[in-house]
A and B are shown apart, each in its own frame.
Chain A
Amino acid sequence: MDLITSLFPWITNGPLIAVQVMSGLSVGMFLFLVSVGMSLIFGVTRIVNLAHGSFYMVSAYLMVTLVEWLPEGATGFWISLVLAPIGVAILGGVIEVTLLRRIYHRDPMMQLILTFGLILIIGTLVLLVWGPDNKSVSRPDALAGSVRIFGQPFPSYYLLVLGLAPVVAVGLWLVFYRTRWGMLVRAATVDREMLGALGVDVSTLYTEVFVFGSWLAGLGGALAAPTVAVALGMDADVLINAFVVVVIGGLGSFAGTLISALLVGELQSFGILIFPAVSIVLLFAIMAVVLIVRPWGLLGRPEE
């Protein structure tokens, strides 16, 4: 017992643990937003969009610009938060229509390579437009400080995420399980051909799904902008994280992505306490194990 407490002095520190858990939840929710978009796109179109991290990054950079242009203060911030994801959604739509549509019938390898190429293109464009320096977005005054939770400091901005995320999750659930469109999307993840045979315009559905998925990635990026350094290389970090989440949770599974994102968030949060360098390797190790034992993820469906 003494060995454990000396290695992990925080382990008996209840309040600290509680705060870490909440922090992990926030991280998890960011991951969820980005990952669910990727999972959704794969579930319907069977394409793993490697450029997903790039969308996240573009949204963060858009936030920087929008916040600069719009009047100072909370209103400007909120408007930017709404607009940035929409900008990315438009970008996603354009990409889907001009490029992805031509390769749906092709070998999955070609599709992956194409989205891989997009990472480079978008990355360079971001560099050209915004330059190589790190950027940042200030939090709105109301959320700039920290509150005390169980006596421990906790950034107020994270409360926004913790508050917004369940709203988004519930919203997504409503969309997928209570709207006609959502039903079509779920049907498409199960059997695309049948859906087409039933007269649904699958092609437009694909575009809509891709736009929606991109919007989700953009929402994640816009929300994250005030918490991280907005810099080149964000795309790679987020991509790999989203990857891990989606693979563990199951490509195409909403619930799986949620659980997995929260799990990964917590792991990262506590991992930093335990042994920072190891946490990321641990993450990959878990993903590798999942891929071997249950390649379709915890809640995914086996591929044919």
Chain B
Amino acid sequence: MATAAVDREVVLETRVLKKQFGGILAVRDVDLAIPRGDLRAIIGPNGAGKTTLFNLITGDIRHDSGVIRFCGEEISALPPDQVCRRGLGRTFQITSVFRRLTVLENVQTAILVHRRRHYNLFARAGRLYRDAALALLERVGLAGQAPKPSGILSHGDQRRLELAIALASEPRLLMLDEPTAGMAPRERHALMALVAKIAADTGLTVLFTEHDMDVVFAVARRITVMHQGAVIAEGAPRDIRLDPEVQRIYLGYTKAD
């Protein structure tokens, strides 16, 4: 297994990360090192522990042992809102937007929370950060939908909105949990191409889980493969595609090459 080129700064790092639920070892001894600017895909069958890993990193659940470091700082014990403030952005497996708020308000709220103005009782929130919010919406292609309640958007558009919300926190690392779930293939490629472009433009590091191998191989710079809670392979897409272990597990998942 080729190891990551560590001449670039490591943004996210986990060591010997472990989480047990009852009798099941959901995440076992996971070592992960994401360098800056990486576009890392984490793949694995359902139940491999990908979402658990995400939740451990973001502080939604407590780890049993191991260390999680973000930009050198240990974040293992921090609650989610603190993790976000350190520079981690996240989208969720099930689309999570603020349904009854408008598209614009969704992003405005995210921005004003990021700027720590959410304890302000006196400003007219509707007027704050409109330009910044619209710019973000423009970036994800939703500017035209700004006044609509986000709940009525199509699934794909809600995903884009969630991306905009995550970006509003100006993260250094963006974690996308199955960002393309429920989308048609063309939509999937479009969304991930958008993500890749944003990452390239802003130097953002991206970590995402994905089931569609076409998308993974098209977008990812490096791939980490998980199975039953452990990392079983890691490397460039080309190498992963040829890895016999991975092929054995994914028989039927990959496109025959």
Indicate whether A and B are direct neighbours in the complex (CB within 8 Å). no
